[in-house]
Amino acid sequence: MPSTPDAPLRLPEAFRKRLGTTAERSRVHAIMRERGLSTVCEEARCPNIGECFASGTATFMILGDRCTRRCHFCNVSTGRPRPIDNDEPAKLADAVKTLGLEHVVITSVDRDELKDKGATHWAACIRAVKATGATVEVLTPDYAGDRALIDRVLDAGPDVFNHNMETVERLYQQVRPQSSWKVTTEVLRYVASTGHPAVKSGIMVGLGENDDEVLQTLDTMRSLGVHIATIGQYLRPSLKHWAVDRYVDDAAYDRFAAHGDALGFSHTFAGAFVRSSYHAKEAHTHHRTRQSSSSSSVSSSAGLKVLQ
């Protein structure tokens, strides 16, 4: 690892984000607990939890709170998963309606012990939430690269399909020993090849990569057909997790965002507190606006050529 558990990098004061008061967070907590639902906000100890919960926003984590994989950066528990709650899609939809959400992000633990890796349950949850009128963004596992399972999720109609690369290629296998760079990139390539209108991916920085590797990863994402990219600072959940190698400054994030814009991403969201689902609704709206503008420009150009 980039540093040792005995000498971790000290967290800069700027990264000590307010968690919010109990009053701000209690409503979302109560709604989740009453329905037996989980949020990745809590499980992953996200630094934005106060801001998001205070605005009535949460990223739902389906299929339980125990993962069959152990990624060195992740705070979600690894172990034998509990049986699937077949009522979860209905509970999820009810929570969405109660919170009055317009854009919903759904993620899950890995369920490698299941024949379908959880894809059927994923599809049921997507359909249930879309029936409320909300748009749905999914942050999915890799389904071991099985295209039939990916299709099962896509057929449910998620508005945004997100699968995170998490880190640069050089560090990937060390950070995610039970996953594969090849499988991850092929998942993104395949989804983009289906013509999905909003493909998204993201990485963390501070794991031991350098700036040039981040730029190269953006190049790779774009070549795979990704439309929306996110880059944020890795914050170590505990001393048992992968050590933080560096805290990236604002100038570097500006460089990453500028590079992404030059590559043609519709939205490159880079900053210390950026996470996959942070301001997800705004990113989706921005992407759709850019798409509409591009379509209008193409139509106008085509019309001018005809007139000439």
Percent over 90 (pLDDT), the chain: 61
pLDDT tens readout for residues 283-298: 777 787 887 776 555 4
Average pLDDT over residues 242-250: 96
Q: Residue 288 and residue 189: Cα distance in Å, rounded?
A: 20
298: amino acid identity, one letter: V
Q: Residue 127 and residue 169: Cα distance in Å, rounded?
A: 34
pLDDT tens readout for residues 224-236: 999 999 999 998 8
Instruction: Say which DSSP state 106 is in.
Output: E
* Domain residue spans of the chain: 15-307
Q: Which residues contact 152 (CB under 8 A, 6 or more apart)?
A: 116, 119, 120, 122, 123
pLDDT of 98: 86
Q: Please, what is the average pLDDT of the chain?
A: 84
Q: Residue 49 and residue 237: Cα distance in Å, rounded?
A: 14
Cα separation of the two ends of the chain:
62
Q: Residue 174 and residue 265: Cα distance in Å, rounded?
A: 28
Average pLDDT over residues 249-274: 95
Percent of the chain that is helix, strand, coil (3-state, to 5)? 45, 15, 40
Percent over 70 (pLDDT), the chain: 76
> How far does CA 78 lie from the centroid of its chain?
19
Q: Residue 208 and residue 4: Cα distance in Å, rounded?
A: 13
Assign a CATH topology to domain 15-307.
TIM Barrel (3.20.20)
pLDDT tens readout for residues 57-87: 568 899 998 999 999 999 888 999 999 999 9
